Amino acid sequence: MTSEQHTIHEIFQPKHCQHFSSTEGTTDTLGIRLSEAMGTVLDTDPRTLDPLYNVINPEALNELFTLNSSHQSSTEIIFSWYDHAIRIQQPGKIHITNEPLVPELDADLPLATEFVGAPFGSTDAISYEYAPTDDLGTEVVLAVANASGIDTQEVTERLADRINTDALNELFQPLADGTPRTDGYVSFGFEGYFVTVSGDGVITIRSELAQLKEQGGNILVVGDVPSDVFNAERAYLMNDPDSIRHDLVALLDRTPTAFQRQATPVRPGPSNIEIFDYQTAVRSTAAPTSSPQEKVQITPISGTLTDLQNTLIQSVAMQDDLIRDNRSTDIQVYVDSLQPVIEATSIDIGSFLTPICRAIRGVEGLGYYTLPHDRGSLAVHEIESTFDAVIELRVSERGPKQRWILPQTGYTTEWFAIIERR
């Protein structure tokens, strides 16, 4: 991999990057603060630097972040100046690296550090070209409307609350003499999508769910609903006969027999299943067993919740080589109930979850954790921010339904039915 092919995630690592945050109460514009930061990086007087205007419109840069939006945290601008890659994030966070070029835009979008009968759609990004003379706000509206199916008028109204479209339009406009500004990107979350606008005339859209599927993450499943609704949701999430998977199941509230009996049957696929049976004093112990036909291995964990935590982390870590050798293998972890962890006095729920979630993200796997509480409950409120997405379940007159809460793009889907995939 050459320096021009690094991903944004690799470039903006601590060993490559210097970070600058705005001073509380400062009245300096973002352009001034950026010039001062670059002066520090280059060890020179910022007044001697070539104008920032030559690479990006500093007035538009400042205005892009002036909106009072609760979802500005996913907005960022990336561009090159003095052979350094610069990333600006709300609220006023500046990151500068010594990498010479901004990476080219491809399927792995340079974004912040994630239905059609399936919880995740295609992981492919959708790209649209625009001309320097086009109204960029209008082009973004058309692109999002086309991808999401939302009426353009609705998209226009919502986008105006999300980002300053006039500033977006001016940010990479050519200089007065016609010199183009092409070395930059703006990305932001909108209506469940990450929208990336490049200075060289491309708008790229990718759903937050698709990014979550590809990059891995952890999802909390909640609802004050019967257990059979959670069973149906598990089948919906984990039943994918087209993928090769290694599933790790942690049982804290059910025995393996009860779990397999109560769960909605999943279609057989080329997958392996490991079940870790956390056994409390009132539950009987059993020797590890396996079922060659179903490729299921059951291992009892008779110690503490910390023992279960360590076992899960070690098992997830062991899949790292498997993923490296076979990119088509998906790692999924399913925790049947977090209720015993909440009730435990031996370990804090956050201390239990954080290392497990980190391990799953490390192998680009997906973790699902169920909690039989209403989303508005204190128990859910205390842990919701740990997860990359939340699925809320409810029972309606037409059967069980779900909706997805996607925090990075500040988007909540409509309620839709839990339907077994075919």
Q: For the chain, which residues make up each domain, given as ranges?
A: 3-210, 216-417
- Give, as one character, the DSSP assignment of residue 261: H
Instruction: Please tell me the CATH superfamily of domain 216-417, with its number.
Output: P-loop containing nucleotide triphosphate hydrolases (3.40.50.300)
pLDDT reported for residue 213: 83
- 25, two tokens: 């109460």
Contact 341, 183 (CB under 8 A): no
Please tell me the pTM assigned to this model: 0.76
64 touches 164 (CB < 8 A) = yes
Q: Which CA distances in Å does 191 have to 143, 225, 411?
A: 12, 28, 6
- C-alpha 205/C-alpha 187 separation (Å) is 9
Residues 6 or more apart from 101 whose CB is under 8 A from it? 3, 4, 80, 83, 85, 183
| Residue 246 DSSP SS3 | strand
* DSSP annotation string for 342-372: HH-SSS-HHHHHHHHHHHHHHTT-EEEEEE-
**Which pLDDT belongs to residue 257?**
81
Residue 379 structure tokens: 């128990």
Task: Check residue 391 and give its pLDDT.
Answer: 97
pLDDT, one tens digit for every residue, the chain (422 residues): 333 334 444 444 544 678 888 666 677 888 899 999 999 999 999 999 999 999 999 999 888 875 554 545 568 888 888 888 888 886 578 888 876 544 443 333 333 322 333 345 455 678 888 887 888 888 988 888 887 778 899 888 888 878 888 898 899 888 889 888 887 888 888 888 888 888 888 898 888 888 888 889 999 999 999 999 999 999 888 776 666 778 999 999 888 887 776 655 554 555 688 999 997 644 444 444 444 445 788 999 988 999 999 999 999 998 776 656 555 568 899 999 999 999 998 899 999 999 999 999 999 899 999 999 999 999 999 999 999 999 999 999 989 999 999 988 888 888 999 875 54
